[in-house]
Amino acid sequence: MPHKPAVPSQRLTLKTVAALAGVSTATADRVLNQRPGVRPITVQKVRQAAQALGYLPDALADAAPQSAPWKLAFVLPQGQNPYLRMLGDTIGFSESHQAPFNVKCQVEYVESFNPEALAASLLRLGKRVQGIAFMAIEHPAVREAVQQLADRGVPTLTVISDLDNSARIAYVGLDNRAAGRTAAYLLARFIGSQRRDAQIALIAGSRSYLAHEEREGGFLQLHAEQFPDMQILGLRESYDDSSRNYQQTKELLQRHPHIAGIYNIGGSSDGVGRALQEAGREHQVVLIGHGLTPDTRALLINGTMDAVITQSHLGIIMSCIRMFSNLRDQLDTMTAVDIVRSQIIFRENLP
């Protein structure tokens, strides 16, 4: 007697299950109706997705063949950057999203802006996990560690900031050059056409992050193309430290009392905002930054910050997990992977 198909919830469809599992609707249908011709790992993934969505009874889901989960590590820099702290927290809180992919994720923090510490962490983790996603630092030691891992069959992904000319399999994050161009356009438009000779300052975490270097390059490129009369006061590095951002901004305001705009390329915009507020300039100096966090949200609400360019924490994590899952299942790396897109957040469209 043929197996009776599972009866779905009225609010769910087979397409929903297939999307969560990262397979075609036809494959999901074959699995849920127990037809042959589907690899065991794919069967497991579809049934776990269906179970997570409440689409089929637990007993049927539990019948899926089990294999040991892939151990994945996310390596992030320590420090005050609120966005990166939230990213690490989200990895720990997203177990329900990870379940359909049969993976087990952990987070490891390394000393910020220390390439040797990052390289050592990658090599150590490579002995006990099947995949590593990490925020890269441009340095030969890091590039060599990635190559050694590739030679040992341990795939790596870069997140937020990429690593040029390396053996990593993919980069997950914003187009940072486009993000820098966007910031330049927003800043100039906020300042207005009546202030063509306005002074603008850039603050970065560090140029050792390719992301920050690319954002700076994109900013300067669009500035030269469209707003060449505005004066760039140069770039300062603050290592994503709130107190350094505060001090850098305080000194800028003292040396350049007519400054019109600041682009914070890195994190910890709260330090910049505090200096502007103390000087009574929070509604006079345009401030553009990155990463929607409780700190930048508060600055948007009180009008100290004008716009935040951000990307979804969960989107980054799930893109990495899906890529590693594709590798394990011998699929194309980018199968069913959503491109991480930038969001521009203003006070009026806060999510």
Residue 314 pLDDT > 60: yes
Average pLDDT of the chain to the nearest whole number: 90
- Choose among 212, 246, 217, 235: nearest CA to 112: 212
Q: How confident is the model at residue 110 (pLDDT cuts 50, 70, 90)?
A: very high
CB–CB of 56/16 below 8 Å?
Answer: no
Single-letter amino acid code for the residue at 312 = S
The alpha-helical segments, DSSP class H, found in 54-104 are 58-62, 82-93, 95-98
Please report where in the chains the tokens 């490579």 appear, as a residue: 126
Residues 213-222 have pLDDT tens digits of 999 999 999 9
Q: Which residue has the higher pLDDT, 30 or 159?
A: 159
Mean pLDDT of 74-88: 95
Q: How confident is the model at residue 66 (pLDDT cuts 50, 70, 90)?
A: low
Q: How far apart are the first and last CA of the chain?
A: 51
Q: Rounded distance, CA 261 to CA 239, Å?
A: 20
For residue 133, list its beta bridge partners: 74, 157
The residue count of the chain comes to 351
Burial class (CB in 10 A: 0-12, 13-18, 19+), 238: buried
Residue 11 has pLDDT above 60, yes or no: no
pLDDT number for residue 73? 98
- The pLDDT assigned to 255 comes to 95
Whole-number Å distance between alpha carbons of 52 and 20:
9
> Bridge partners of 72?
105, 131
The confidence score (pLDDT) of residue 7 equals: 42
